[in-house]
C-alpha cells in the first residue's frame, strides 16, 4: 500500500514538474526585433513615434510619416506572407522589387521631411538605428559604438 502510494505521488510530482517546465514567462524579444511584432498599425505607430522623437517632427509630419509607414508595412507583410517571389520571378527579381519598394518609400519620406531631417533619417538608416539593428552591420558583424562594442548579456 505504501509502495503504490509513494509511486503515485512520485508520478504526480514528475508530471507537475514537466508541465511547469514547459510554460515560459512572457518576456520581450532580445536583439531589437520589436519591428517584427504586432500588427502593421502597431509597428507604424511605434516607428513614427520613434522618428518623431529622433527627428523632431511636427504633428503634421508625424501623421504623414505614420501613414507612409503603415502602407509600407502592409505591403511588406503581404510580400512576406507569399514567402517567395511571384510566379516565374527569380530571387534577383524579387530583390529588385524589394529595392524598388524601398526607393519608393524613401522618396515619400523625402517629400515630407525637411532637408536636415531627411539627412538625419538616412544617417539613422545607414547606422541601423532606424530598424532596431543597433550594434550589427550589414555583414552581420558587431559594430563599435563610441569605441566600445555593445555586448548583450543573457537574461536569467
Encode pLDDT of 90-107 as tens digits: 778 778 888 888 899 989
Lowest mean pLDDT among 17-31, 54-68, 97-111: 17-31
59-82 and 40-55 helices, crossing angle to 10°: 140
Domain ranges of the chain: 35-131
- CA 74 to chain CA mean position, Å: 14
Computed over every residue of the chain, the mean pLDDT equals 74
Amino acid at each position: 500500500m505504501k509502495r503504490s502510494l509513494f509511486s503515485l505521488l512520485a508520478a504526480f510530482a514528475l508530471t507537475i514538474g514537466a508541465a511547469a517546465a514547459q510554460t515560459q514567462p512572457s518576456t520581450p524579444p532580445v536583439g531589437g526585433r520589436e519591428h517584427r511584432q504586432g500588427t502593421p498599425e502597431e509597428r507604424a505607430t511605434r516607428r513614427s513615434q520613434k522618428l518623431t522623437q529622433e527627428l523632431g517632427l511636427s504633428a503634421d509630419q508625424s501623421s504623414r510619416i505614420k501613414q507612409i509607414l503603415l502602407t509600407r508595412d502592409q505591403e511588406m507583410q503581404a510580400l512576406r506572407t507569399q514567402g517567395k517571389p511571384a510566379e516565374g520571378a527569380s530571387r534577383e527579381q524579387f530583390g529588385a522589387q524589394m529595392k524598388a519598394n524601398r526607393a519608393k518609400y524613401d522618396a515619400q519620406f523625402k517629400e515630407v521631411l525637411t532637408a536636415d531631417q531627411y539627412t538625419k533619417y538616412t544617417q539613422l538608416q545607414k547606422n541601423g538605428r532606424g530598424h532596431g539593428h543597433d550594434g550589427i552591420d550589414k555583414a552581420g558583424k558587431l559594430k563599435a559604438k563610441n569605441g566600445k562594442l555593445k555586448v548583450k548579456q543573457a537574461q536569467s
